[in-house]
Amino acid sequence: MPLRVHRRSALPAALLAVVVGLAGCSSATSQLEDYTGIEQGNARPAESPQVSDPEGGEVIPAPGSVTSLVATGDRVMAQVDGGSALEIARVEGTRWIPEGSVELPADAGTATAGYDGTVLVPYGDGVVMVTSAGDAREISGLGPVTAAAVTDDGHLLTGTPDGEVVVRDGEGNEQHRVTGLTSVDRITVARDGSVTAFSRPDTVIASIDPDEDGAGPLLRAGKGAGMLDGYGDRTVVASDTVGDTLLIYSTSPIRLHQQFPVADAPWAVAGDATRDVVWVTSTGTNTVQAYDLGDGTGIRRADIATVRQPDSLVVTESGTVVVGSSDGAGIHLMRPTLSGPSS
């Protein structure tokens, strides 16, 4: 099928360490479930308590549910209305200053930030790439895409529903395929250029070498990882939604370094370079916490009540923490002051 490129303008372990190297993921997963009697993988956000009382900052209304938040500098893009639009705003402190919107395909997947600052939105036949200014380029004819990323040398990586990472040039032309996963639900590129992919159905995280035929090493990510985000030069952070822990990995190759308990049903995660902490939302408690990773155990430095169903999270370049509600409760912007170390 030929590629069609369109341009559109926007408006002005035992189980703790059952991070197991997997040669055959499905087999290893089924064996582990037989042993524990606990279903692994397929994490989803927990249904949050009905009552929420956001603490501090400002809560602004959003046009529907917020499914994803992406920051490029101090601009934030909120994916709303079931994923069918990106609302673009400049964030100053806790002020949300609208700048425009981008319409997305009806079957759009989760928006993520690319290595170069571009926002990538996968959908049923390709990828929409959006600049921080709101200019959009659609690459179609790729078949179903479940995740997308841009490498440090400009290659486009796309995920397929059956677990392949497709390496493409900047125009979307296929060059190579990396196999070995069950699904590709997220692809991240660290600042050092290393690529990591995540398969949510069997909670597996893997290193991806675009020049190799197979993914690996492959590690088991907790009991049921939910979301994945980059942190620093060579680190990715994952929420273990089923196991109520936070997982800290180094990349190139992927290796687990820390795992510690957090509040119920963690979901969205985001690195905060201004405070040198990692933030994680708890869909079980309608809160967002900050953890200092410096001593190797994870020390909680903040615990803040936020909007109901806090399924998305991002931190701007200047340090505004932004939480989005997938239940229509809006967007919470805050500038937290961290407390002293608290375990």
User: Does the pLDDT of residue 197 top 80, yes or no?
Assistant: yes
Bridge partner list, 123: 126
d(CA 214, CA 155): 18
- According to the model, what pLDDT value does residue 23 have? 37
Across 115-128, average pLDDT: 94
Across 172-189, average pLDDT: 97
Torsions phi, psi for 82 (to 5 deg): 70, 15
- According to the model, what pLDDT value does residue 30 have? 41
User: Does the pLDDT of residue 121 top 70, yes or no?
Assistant: yes
The one-letter amino acid code at 49 reads P
**To the nearest whole number, what is the mean pLDDT of the chain?**
88
pLDDT-based confidence at 38, cuts 50/70/90?
Answer: low
- Give the HSE-up count for residue 316: Cα atoms under 13 Å, Cβ half-sphere: 26
pLDDT-based confidence at 116, cuts 50/70/90?
Answer: confident
- pLDDT per position as a tens digit, 41-94: 889 999 999 999 999 999 999 988 999 999 999 999 999 987 789 999 999 999
- pLDDT per position as a tens digit, 278-301: 999 999 999 999 999 987 789 999
Whole-model pTM: value is 0.88
- According to the model, what pLDDT value does residue 41 have? 85
User: Does the pLDDT of residue 309 top 60, yes or no?
Assistant: yes
Q: CA angle, 245 as apex, 243 and 247 as ends, to 5°?
A: 115
User: Does the pLDDT of residue 31 top 50, yes or no?
Assistant: no
- pLDDT per position as a tens digit, 230-257: 988 899 999 999 999 999 999 989 999 9
Bridge partner list, 247: 238, 259
